[in-house]
Amino acid sequence: MRAIDMPTIDHRGPTFQDLGKRVLAGIRTIFKTKNPVLIYPASGTGAWEAALVNTLSPGDLCLMYETGHFATLWKKLAERLGLRTEFIEGDWRHGADAKAIGERLQADTNHEIKAVCVVHNETSTGCVSPIKAVREAIGAAGHPALLLVDTISSLASIDYRHDEWGVDVTVGGSQKGLMLPPGLSFNAVSDKALKAQESAKLPRSYWAWDEMLAANENGFFTYTPATNLLYGLDAAIEMLHAEGLENVFARHQRHGAATRAAVEAWGLEVLCAEPTHHSGSLTAVLMPDRKGADALRKIILDRFDMSLGAGLSKVADQIFRIGHLGDFNDLTLVGTLGGVEMGLKAAGVAHKSGGVDAAMAVLGDTETASYRQAA
Ligand code: PLP
């Protein structure tokens, strides 16, 4: 926030050019790619659209996986653009099933499916999809479909490797692991995605990669960039490198483990039913009898000024979500869990006390302890 609080400079001048070159190079290290990353002055939804319109043509079939609310929204967006979609149904308690994706691709002998779209960390459920396994399943099926992945709530918080995992387009946003306000979003692209762009027929102008990539080569943008957010991005990249990306991932994993220990001690259930899909960014908690989450959230907001995530669409009022991503440390987590535990009591929700103690036992384990290192 301090980095953003600066005069907005001329985005065609040399000072901006230095900043542009720095953030365009720096953001590649966060996605773990050697290829370019497009930076849009838009929310994540814009980058979803950009990923599709730059690589696909009207009527193309996208295989998508129903991990939860955000996968469903991406599917709707694709349909509005004139794409055909096919959903592999999920129960909102697991990440994507790589085996099911592989089997569907194997059956697609005519190669009608042009893209596989998966949400890495489903923000509505707290379930993480195994992207490496999805890529391997696509490879094992010998299928040429592109792999498009949404990392809006996993980038810079959960281990992610654009190049190594062979992802074609990775969609990201500024407002979560990058610790910035909303307003920037990203497309990291593979060589195969860049090639697909040459023949893709969906109409595009604002989102078109080609002219933007040409301007980016010199550190500039074709239209007015969100200059002040780019000052913030520059600072965020520096902070992430100062801590070390691997330490950032480990910190999020610890906070996820501590939160789940609290939920278990309360006698409540974590929504994500598959331990290998548990999220380091957020934990969704099922209410006893699957009701009353919104009343609990209201009490916690009114009493402690803490806003927990709501259950969305299919799980409305059944769950609440504890976010533990971004600029977050052991003490902010203990405070957060303290607010939840006091709220459960105040709302009369059946539970056992001792969740905060259970979380502190995980956090106090010196073997796993990490704290922010000075730059
Ligand atoms: N994808 C995921 C996983 C999200 O969590 C969100 C928003 O929270 C979006 C997409 C949509 O992004 P935005 O609201 O920034 O447009």
Give all domains of the chain, ordered by start, each with its CATH number.
14-242 (3.40.640.10), 245-363 (3.90.1150.10)
What lies within 8 Å, CB to CB, of 126 at 6+ separation is: 270, 271, 272, 278, 279, 281, 282, 283, 284, 321
pLDDT at 366: 65
Q: What is the mean pLDDT of the chain?
A: 97
Rounded distance, CA 358 to CA 53, Å? 47
Instruction: Quote the percentage of the chain above a pLDDT of 90.
Output: 97
Rounded distance, CA 88 to CA 117, Å? 11
Q: Is the pLDDT of residue 6 over 60?
A: yes
Confidence tier at 365 by pLDDT (50, 70, 90): confident
Ligand 1 nearest-atom number relative to CA 151: 3
Longest dimension (CA), the chain: 61
Q: Is the pLDDT of residue 363 over 50?
A: yes
Dump pLDDT digits (tens) for 224-238: 999 999 999 999 999
What is the crossing angle of helices 330-346 and 245-266, to 10°? 20
Confidence tier at 368 by pLDDT (50, 70, 90): low
Ligand 1 center from residue 368 Cα (angstroms): 31
**C-alpha distances out from residue 6 to 1, 79, 180, 229, 320, Å:** 10, 41, 15, 10, 37
- What's the angle, vertex CA 348, arms to CA 343 and CA 351, rounded to 5? 80
Ligand 1 center from residue 265 Cα (angstroms): 31
**pTM above 0.90?**
yes
Confidence tier at 127 by pLDDT (50, 70, 90): very high
Confidence tier at 375 by pLDDT (50, 70, 90): very low
Classify each residue of 193-218 as buried b or exposed e, where b means 16 or more C-beta atoms within 10 Å of its C-beta.
bbebbeebebebeebbbeebbeebee
Q: Is the pLDDT of residue 367 over 80?
A: no
Ligand 1 center from residue 299 Cα (angstroms): 26
Beta strands in the chain (DSSP E): 37-40, 61-65, 84-88, 113-119, 121-122, 127-128, 146-150, 169-173, 185-189, 269-270, 282-286, 309-310, 319-323
Mean pLDDT of 57-68: 98
Beta carbon of 70 within 6 Å of any ligand 1 atom: yes
Confidence tier at 369 by pLDDT (50, 70, 90): low
Cα dihedral 159, 161, 165, 167, rounded to 10, equals 120
Sheet holding 169-173: strands in order across?
A: 37-40, 185-189, 169-173, 146-150, 113-119, 61-65, 84-88
Beta carbon of 123 within 6 Å of any ligand 1 atom: yes
Dump pLDDT digits (tens) for 134-151: 999 999 999 999 999 999
Q: Which residue's CA is minimally distant from atom 8 of ligand 1? A: 123
Dump pLDDT digits (tens) for 72-126: 999 999 999 999 999 999 999 999 999 999 999 999 999 999 999 999 999 999 9
Is residue 174 a contact partner of residue 144, using CB atoms and an 8 Å limit? no
Burial of 57 (C-beta count, 10 Å sphere; 0-12/13-18/19+): middle
Q: Is the pLDDT of residue 184 over 90?
A: yes
Best of 45, 122, 158, 281 for a ligand 1 pocket test (most atoms within 8 Å of beta carbon): 45
Q: Which residue's CA is minimally distant from atom 14 of ligand 1? A: 44
Which residue carries 């059944």 as its tokens?
318
pLDDT at 374: 38
- What's the angle, vertex CA 23, arms to CA 17 and CA 27, rounded to 5? 155
Sign for the pseudo-dihedral over CA of 162, 166, 172, 177? negative
Rounded distance, CA 101 to CA 103, Å? 6
DSSP letter (8 states) at residue 354:
-
pLDDT at 47: 98
Mean pLDDT of 259-269: 98
Per DSSP bridges, beta strands 146-150 and 127-128 are: unpaired
Dump pLDDT digits (tens) for 299-352: 999 999 999 999 999 999 999 999 999 999 999 999 999 999 999 999 999 999
Is residue 17 a contact partner of residue 191, using CB atoms and an 8 Å limit? no
